[in-house]
């Protein structure tokens, strides 16, 4: 059972990611499915904006390296058996999946903990960039510094 | 930017908001040998004022580096603001 | 956006559960996919047994009521928008999904917490019963008391 | 089991390991009015010795009840060991 990590401009099938990381000693897979949200509240002003679509771009070779690193760190730190990460690039319509992280583990507790850790690290370290396009403009999303 | 006798040519990639601010996604720059990553960022901010107000991350050959890291000839630099995937 | 809970003898499509609970104000869905595991370690003896297949049965009307209750409690306790639960009944081959719990929330932290709480409560209170069939016998799984 | 003048008929369902121990999945039992859930379980253990060693849960009309709960005529009882879904 190997891990997987990929960047793709195709629509992501969350079941295929979740189901490609099912080792026979495991009983549970926890999957985070992040997707393009129609309404976003501005953290500073509290104003709610309606997003028309998203565009994701990546520094692809580095993003793949950083994805491999967080997988390696998660497997060292948590009792998990297999990890799959897929991140969408290009234009995403509202409701389409931007990221899927699936973690299979013998015990579900470790799968939950590792999956939550992985999305936090991905948002902190993997060089992928989100642009939100509104009816009246567009803005790069402000992320967290690593 | 000062061109020393021993200069090196670097490829600089810009992503996300930093690409918009720089007005380009890629540049070749010639810099003095031994320049650090932080010094390069300062010189890029001088050249592209849109970058000046931003907190920038720098990667060399696809690894995050500290501002004090010296750059090597032929390396690939990437400049971006905080990442925002997920 | 309504919640869903169901018992089915059909193969469960985890994406369809996850994707039926995607309200427009949400950005993340956390899904637990539990499945029939080939190898199980006996808690008392440490011996590892190989399972050939599983059979699940339920006290169906009460199981549906208890599923509705844990959904209601989760929505009262956590900041989540929609919850979907599907549990398989009948004979399951190894690797097939026995349970899917999907939780959609505006913030992923609440989705992780609620999903983990829901599977724990489901295993404690919902009257569903698992029989493991081995090459040389079978045994009802010993669950936890509510 | 004592049949009082005022008896009631109950439907009892068995699930999982409890069904195997009882040797049946469903029974009709006639019991004295006012019998509690715990007393019914004791009488079932007397009738089906396989149930005797087990910690049993009892539901009345699809709700978990305490052993002290009195049973009503016409109610549906379910008997099972700890649940094991998931």
Find the helix packing angle between A60-77 and A108-125, rounded to 10°. Answer: 150
Name the burial class of residue B14, with classes exposed (0-12), middle (13-18) and buried (19+) by CB atoms within 10 angstroms of its CB. buried
Determine the residue among C69, C88, C129 to mutate to test chain D binding: the one whose Cβ has the most chain D Cβ atoms within 10 Å. Answer: C129
Contact call for residues A58 and A51 (beta carbons, < 8 A): no
Give the number of residues written for chain B: 86
**Which chain B residue has its CA at the smallest distance from A36's CA?**
B86
Band of pLDDT at residue D5, cut at 50, 70 and 90: low
Contact call for residues B80 and B16 (beta carbons, < 8 A): yes
Partner A, chain B 26-65, Cβ-Cβ below 8 Å:
55, 57, 59, 62-64
- The residue ranges of every structural domain in chain C are 4-135
pLDDT at position B5 is 62
Mean pLDDT, residues A62-66 taken together: 98
Band of pLDDT at residue B6, cut at 50, 70 and 90: confident
pLDDT at position C1 is 56
Contact call for residues D21 and D54 (beta carbons, < 8 A): yes
- Does position A16 have pLDDT exceeding 70, yes or no? yes
3-state SS, C78-133, equals CCCCEEEEEEECEEEECCCEEEEEEEEECCHHHHHHHHHHHHHHHHHHCCEEEEEE
D vs C contact (3+ beta-carbon pairs below 8 A): yes
Q: List phi, psi (to 5°) of A128.
A: -125, 145
| Residue-wise pLDDT tens digits, D24-69 | 999 999 999 999 999 999 999 999 999 998 889 999 999 999 999 9
Interface of A with B (CB under 8 A): 34, 56-59, 61-63, 65, 87, 98-99, 119, 122-131, 140-146
| Residue-wise pLDDT tens digits, B7-58 | 899 999 999 999 999 999 999 999 999 999 999 999 999 999 999 988 899 9
Contact C34 A18 (CB under 8 A): no
- Options 3.40.50.300, 3.90.1170.40, 3.30.1360.40, 3.90.550.10; CATH for C4-135 is 3.90.1170.40
How far apart are alpha carbons C17 and D23 in whole angstroms? 37
- Does position D3 have pLDDT exceeding 70, yes or no? no
pLDDT at position C103 is 96
Q: Pick the residue with more confidence: A20 or C94? A: C94
- The residue ranges of every structural domain in chain B are 8-23+33-81
How far apart are alpha carbons B65 and C105 in whole angstroms? 35
- Nearest CB to B15: which of A57, A125, A142? A57
What is the percent of chain D with per-residue pLDDT over 90, rounded to a whole number?
86
How far apart are alpha carbons C17 and A73 in whole angstroms? 30
Question: Could you give the ipTM of this predicted complex?
Answer: 0.88
Contact A33 C18 (CB under 8 A): yes
Predicted model pTM: 0.91
pLDDT at position C8 is 95
How far apart are alpha carbons C99 and C116 in whole angstroms? 13
Average model confidence (pLDDT) for chain A?
91
| Residue-wise pLDDT tens digits, B70-83 | 999 999 999 999 99
The answer to whether residue C119 neighbours chain A at the CB level (below 8 Å) is: yes
Alpha helix positions (H), D1-86:
16-22, 37-47
| DSSP string across chain B | ----SSEEEEEEEE-HHHHHHHT-SEEEEEEETT-BHHHHHHHHHHH-GGGTTS--EEEETTEE--TTPBP-TT-EEEEESSB---
The answer as to CATH 3.10.20.30 being correct for domain B8-23+33-81 is yes
Give pLDDT tens digits along chain C (146 positions).
589 999 999 999 888 888 888 777 778 999 999 988 888 777 788 888 899 999 999 999 999 999 999 999 999 999 999 999 999 999 999 989 999 999 999 889 999 999 999 999 999 999 999 999 999 999 999 877 76
Containing H/E element for D11?
Answer: strand D7-14
């Amino acid at each position: 059972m190997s891990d997987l990590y990929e960047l793709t401009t195709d629509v992501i099938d969350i079941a295929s990611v979740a189901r490609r990381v099912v080792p026979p000693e495991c009983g549970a897979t926890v999957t985070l499915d992040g997707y393009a949200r129609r309404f976003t509240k501005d953290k500073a002003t509290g104003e709610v904006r309606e997003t028309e679509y998203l565009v994701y771009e990546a520094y692809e070779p580095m993003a793949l390296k950083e994805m491999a690193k967080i997988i390696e760190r998660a497997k060292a730190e948590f009792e998990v058996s297999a990890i799959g990460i897929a991140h969408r690039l290009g234009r995403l319509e509202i409701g389409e999946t931007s990221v899927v992280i699936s973690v299979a583990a013998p015990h579900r507790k470790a799968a939950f903990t590792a999956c939550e850790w992985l999305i936090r690290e991905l948002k902190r370290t993997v060089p992928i960039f989100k642009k939100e396009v509104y009816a009246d403009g567009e803005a790069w999303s402000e992320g967290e510094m690593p | 930017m000062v061109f020393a006798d021993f200069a090196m040519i670097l490829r600089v990639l810009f992503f996300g908001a930093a690409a918009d601010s720089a007005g380009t996604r890629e540049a070749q720059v010639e810099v003095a040998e031994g320049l650090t990553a932080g010094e390069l960022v300062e010189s890029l901010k001088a050249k592209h004022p849109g970058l000046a107000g931003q907190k920038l991350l720098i990667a060399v050959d696809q690894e995050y580096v500290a501002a004090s890291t010296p750059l090597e000839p032929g390396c690939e630099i990437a400049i971006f603001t905080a990442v925002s995937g997920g």
